[in-house]
Amino acid sequence: MRRNPSVLLAVAAAVTLSGCAVGPDKRDPMENWNRAVFKFNDTVDTYALKPVATGYKNVTPDFVQTGVNNFFGNLQDLWTGGNNLLQGKPGDAVSDFGRFALNSTFGMLGLFDIASEAGLSKHKEDFGQTLGRWGVQSGPYVMLPLLGPSTLRDTVGLPLDFAGDAWSYKDPVNVRNIGAGVRVIDQRAALLDASTLLEDAALDRYEFIRDGFLQRRQSQVYDGEVPETKEEENVPEQPAVKPTGEGATQPAT
C-alpha cells in the first residue's frame, strides 16, 4: 500500500487552486473544500477504519500491539535522524541513529525499545518540520483525502517523507502491503480513546481538529519554543469593538 507521490502533489495543487472557497479563518482559506474532505475521511473512518482498529485492539494482546508500534517506530528513527541532521541538530541525530542501531540489534529488530531504557530520547521529525525550521511558511491548512490534517508546506514535503520510509522498500511487495496495513490499523487503534473523547466533547469537530493540529504542528517545528510573534500569528483574528454608549460595545465597521 505504497502511496504515489504524484497523486499527493496533484491533491496539493487542486487544494491550492480551490482558493475561491473562502472561509472565515485566514489560516483556512479553503474551508469549504477542507470540510468536504473531512466529511469523506470521517465516513471512511466510521465505517471501515475505526471498526477494524477496534477489533484489532480487542483481540490483539497488548504486548503484540506494543511490539508492532515499536517496530515501525524504530524504522521511523532513521528518517527522524536524517531530518535532525538537515535541521542542524547533530546531537539529536546521533541519538536517533543510536536508537536505531541499539533497538535493531538488542531490541530484536525494534520489537523492544531498549534505547529508551538506555536513556536515548525518542524524537519525531519529518521533512515538513525541516522546511519550517529553515523559514518556509506553513501556508494554508489542508485536509488531505485519507491522510488527514496537513498544511501546504507539509503536503509538499510528503513525497520525501514517503521516500524516507524504510518500510516502503521492503520486498516482497505483498509483505510490504500487509505491513503498511497493519501499521495504519495499529496507529488508529492507539487513538481510539482520544477520538471517542473528541466525539463527546467537541461542538465542531472540524474546527477543534484544525486548531489543535495547527498549534501542535507549530510547536513541533520550533521544538516547543514558539517565538512570541509566531504565537500571535496563529491566533484567529477577532472583530474590533468600539463604544456606542455608556458601557456598550458593538463590532466596528
Q: What is the pLDDT of residues 89-101, one digit of tens each?
A: 999 999 999 999 9
**By percentage, how much of the chain surpasses pLDDT 90?**
73
Query: For 18-22, 74-78, 170-174, 199-203, which range has the lowest pLDDT when averaged over its residues?
Result: 18-22
How large is the angle between the packed helices 62-86 and 90-105, nearest 10 degrees? Answer: 150
pLDDT interval class at 147 (50, 70, 90): very high
Q: Which segments of the chain are extended strands (E)?
A: 141-144, 148-151, 241-245, 248-251
Query: For 14-23, 88-97, 143-152, which range has the lowest pLDDT when averaged over its residues?
Result: 14-23
Q: Which residue has the cell 521533512?
A: 127
Query: For 35-49, 129-143, 189-203, 215-229, which range has the lowest pLDDT when averaged over its residues?
Result: 189-203
Mean pLDDT of 78-86: 98
Report CA torsion sign: 123, 129, 133, 138: negative
Burial class (CB in 10 A: 0-12, 13-18, 19+), 18: middle
Which one, of 233, 209, 221, lies nearest residue 144 by Cα? 209
Give the alpha-carbon dihedral of 96, 74, 136, 8, to 10 degrees: 160
pLDDT value of position 19: 41
* Alpha carbons 10 and 18: distance in angstroms, whole number: 12
pLDDT value of position 228: 75
Q: Which residue has the cell 495543487?
A: 13
Count Cβ atoms below 10 Å from residue 137 Cβ, excluding itself.
Answer: 11
The residue type at 1? M
